[in-house]
Amino acid sequence: MVLLEVVYPLIMGIILLFLSPLFLMISTKIFKTADNSYGTAFRVVIWPVIISTVLSIILNYVVIQSKALMIILMIVLWGGLLIFNIWLVASNYYVTVGRAFLILLVGGLMLIIPYVIIALVIGLIIGMISMATQFASLG
């Protein structure tokens, strides 16, 4: 279970740490912001990725009996992270909040397909490792 609850979010967090800035940079080039370098995109993305990775690991361990309470908690946490992301983009690229939201939206939409493919591959690898360790412990 540790593979699924800790290692998977950590691996995905590390991958996102380097993949997200690429798509944010492309999005800022589309919107023609003043500074659209990878370095600026990395500085903008580093804290949200770290926070979301830690939140994913914590939420994997939190057992809340009420599904409604869990949904409310997730909405509040991820909503706060979205507001933080918008503020980071608006303050680092000197754009309005609406334009920052659009930059994040376009970058996020471009990130969906590579993220899903990578998540599936990593999930399959971790699943195979988990199954192999379970079979090894039987014999």
Instruction: Locate the domains of the chain by residue range.
Output: 2-138
Query: For residue 14, how far is the Cα from the chain centroid?
Result: 9
CA gap 74, 66 in Å, rounded: 13
CA gap 31, 103 in Å, rounded: 7
Distance separating the N- and C-terminal Cα atoms of the chain: 20
> Taking the model in full, what pTM does it have?
0.82
Q: What is the pLDDT of residue 37?
A: 92
pLDDT, tens digit, for every residue of 81-137? 999 999 999 999 999 999 999 999 999 999 999 999 998 998 888 888 878 887 777
pLDDT, tens digit, for every residue of 34-87? 888 999 999 999 999 999 888 888 877 776 677 788 788 889 988 999 999 999
- Number of H helices and E strands in the chain, helices first, is 5, 0
4 close to 59: Cβ distance less than 8 angstroms = no
CA gap 77, 70 in Å, rounded: 11
Residue 10 CA: distances (Å) to CA of 15, 27, 40, 41, 60: 9, 25, 23, 20, 12
